[in-house]
Amino acid sequence: MTGFAVLLRKELLEQWRTMRLVIVAGLFLAFGILSPIAARYTPEIVGALLPAGSIQMIFPTPTTRDAVDQFVKNVGSTLTLAGILLAMGLVAVEKERGTAAFILTRPAGRGAFIAAKFAAIALTLAVAMALAGAVAYAYTVWLFEAPPITGYAAMCALLWLGQLVIASATLLGSALVRSVAPAAAIGFAAFVGSSIVSALPTIGRYTPPGRRGPAAALGIGADPGPVLGPVAVNVAIAAGAVVLAWASFRRQEL
């Protein structure tokens, strides 16, 4: 793919200059810190907020599992929206402003154009997830018992893959349309749709949200059940979305 390395460098530099990389990394870092802290102190905070003389609520003692579950919920749900925000304007904005046509007059192919944008999203989310996982693990060790580090790393990898699938769907939307709002709507629809399908008993485990249960199990060293098949399906979905984005973009007049 002609020009891939140059375009990838451009995307990463742009993310740094526009503070998108810093903002996303900071957001992930904040949730990584807050997740085990929330798991540890939420029962005490709720108990302190109850009015005197009211019915006392008895909470079970927080454990490492609670910290892991909190992290999976925050990163797997809330921070998936960060991937949508990153991807929604990557192609649509450049088409709208005319910069895509200018870039493609240089020795750069449309395949490299799409691939570089996807790779930049993947790297940004990977850096952010690594930071979030590292601080969450450190705080979990401090506040609870240490979970197995290899399982915790595998958990973070599964969560990253789930975010990447939704981001790839958003990138496809951005390639199909010429403005940011419809691209964001496509990404959000993919997020909501996959969340609904994840509740189904058989097919649900192949969706990005369906990876959260196995991810949480890996995080505490438990048996996650079948993993390779659903991972392969998610990789195929992300790759298919990128290929479709390229197939659509290569036929468009810029």
Residue 46, pLDDT > 80, answer: no
173-184 exposure pattern, b = at least 16 Cβ within 10 A, e = fewer: bbbbbeebeebb
Mean of per-residue pLDDT scores for the chain = 84
Q: Which residue has the higher pLDDT, 151 or 252?
A: 151
Mean pLDDT check: name the lowest of 23-27, 159-163, 248-252: 248-252
Report the residue count for the chain: 254
- Rounded to an integer, what distance in angstroms lies between the CA atom of residue 217 and that of residue 234? 18
| Three-class secondary structure assignment of 116-167 | HHHHHHHHHHHHHHHHHHHHHHHHHHHHCCCCCHHHHHHHHHHHHHHHHHHH
**CB 130 within 8 Å of CB 22:** no
- Range with top average pLDDT, 60-74, 150-164, 185-199: 150-164
- Range with top average pLDDT, 7-16, 49-58, 101-110, 162-171: 162-171
Read off the pLDDT of residues 83-118 as tens digits, 9 standing for 90 and up: 888 787 777 777 666 666 666 666 667 788 888 889
Q: What pLDDT shows up at residue 183?
A: 82
Q: What pLDDT shows up at residue 149?
A: 94
Task: Give the CA distances from residue 192 to residues 23, 88, 113, 232, 234, in Å, rounded to whole numbers and listed in that order.
Answer: 24, 16, 28, 21, 16
pTM score of the predicted model: 0.88
Confidence grade of residue 243 (pLDDT, cut at 50, 70, 90): very high
The candidate with the shortest Cα–Cα distance to 4, out of 98, 121, 86, 107, is: 107
- Rounded to an integer, what distance in angstroms lies between the CA atom of residue 185 and that of residue 133? 29
- Rounded to an integer, what distance in angstroms lies between the CA atom of residue 72 and that of residue 70? 6
Q: What pLDDT shows up at residue 6?
A: 81
Read off the pLDDT of residues 187-221 as tens digits, 9 standing for 90 and up: 888 888 888 888 888 888 888 888 888 899 999 99
